[in-house]
């Protein structure tokens, strides 16, 4: 029998409250979480949301009761002032946690965030995939321009009976 589980570390360092960010929680992140939970309910062993700004506790109090207890018990909200690095080490060995998150793991360049382990294509998006307006689109003068700047890291440690796998993701929305 083959078993696997993942410990996710979602680092919200630098995140500031902006009401427009709620669409990320209610949109793509909700779909991702629902998909993972529906298809792999026991795949996530623990999820640590670290460097969480104070409004995250309030948001969790509002959303938490809507999540099944079995899932809710896997999520730990950790503020900047808490000992979240020590808490993570209760669930994973230090040699399997990047140094940036309290472990001892570094990549071949000595980077404590293990960025050389990322396998994300950074090629430019082809121009044929750019959005182009058509007759149903609003005119440029009808549009309001705004920017949302969000930078975050998510890190997962997956333990199987045979090996440890590291998953590190970074996204920036602006």
Please give the residue that has the higher pLDDT: either 67 or 85. 85
What does pTM read for this prediction?
Answer: 0.61
Sorted by where each begins, the domain ranges of the chain are 4-123+138-173
pLDDT in tens, 138-164: 666 665 554 444 445 555 554 444 444
Backbone angles phi, psi at 67, to 5 degrees: -100, 140
CATH 3.40.525 fits 4-123+138-173, yes or no: yes
Instruction: Report the residue count for the chain.
Output: 174
On whether the CB atoms of residues 48 and 10 are closer than 8 A, the answer is yes
On whether the CB atoms of residues 154 and 11 are closer than 8 A, the answer is yes
> How far is C-alpha 123 from the geometric centre of its chain's CA atoms?
22
């Amino acid at each position: 029998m083959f078993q696997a589980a993942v410990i996710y570390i979602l680092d919200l360092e630098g995140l500031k409250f902006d009401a427009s960010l709620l669409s990320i929680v209610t949109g793509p992140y909700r779909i991702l979480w629902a998909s993972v939970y529906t298809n792999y309910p026991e795949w996530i062993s623990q999820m640590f949301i670290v460097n969480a700004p104070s409004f995250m506790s309030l948001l969790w109090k509002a959303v938490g009761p809507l999540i099944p207890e079995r899932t809710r018990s896997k999520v730990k909200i950790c503020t900047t002032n808490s000992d979240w690095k020590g808490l993570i080490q209760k669930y994973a060995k230090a040699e399997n946690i990047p140094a940036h998150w309290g472990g001892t793991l570094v990549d071949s360049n000595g980077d404590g965030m293990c960025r050389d382990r990322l396998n994300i294509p950074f090629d430019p998006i082809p121009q044929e995939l750019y959005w182009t307006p058509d007759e149903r689109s609003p005119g440029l003068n009808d549009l309001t321009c705004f920017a949302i700047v969000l930078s975050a890291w998510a890190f997962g440690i997956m333990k199987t009976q045979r090996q440890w796998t590291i998953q590190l993701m970074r996204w920036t929305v602006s």
